[in-house]
Amino acid sequence: MSGLAVTEMPGTASEALEPRRLDAWAPLLIGALLGALSAGRFETAIACALIAGAGAAALKARRPRPGWIVMLGASLVTALVLNLYLVRGHALALPRIFGLVPTREGLALGALLALRLFGAALAMRALAALRP
pLDDT tens profile 83-131: 999 999 999 888 888 889 999 999 999 999 999 999 999 999 999 998 8
CB atoms within 10 A of CB 82: 14
For residue 125, the model assigns a pLDDT of 94
Please check the confidence at residue 46 and state whether its pLDDT lies above 70. Answer: yes
Please check the confidence at residue 1 and state whether its pLDDT lies above 50. Answer: no
pLDDT tens profile 17-34: 465 567 788 999 999 999
Whether pTM > 0.85 for this model: the answer is: no
Task: Look at the chain and count its residues.
Answer: 132
For residue 16, the model assigns a pLDDT of 44
Strand partners, 100: 97
- The whole-angstrom separation of Cα 129 and Cα 61 is 5
Domain boundaries of the chain, sorted by first residue? 13-128
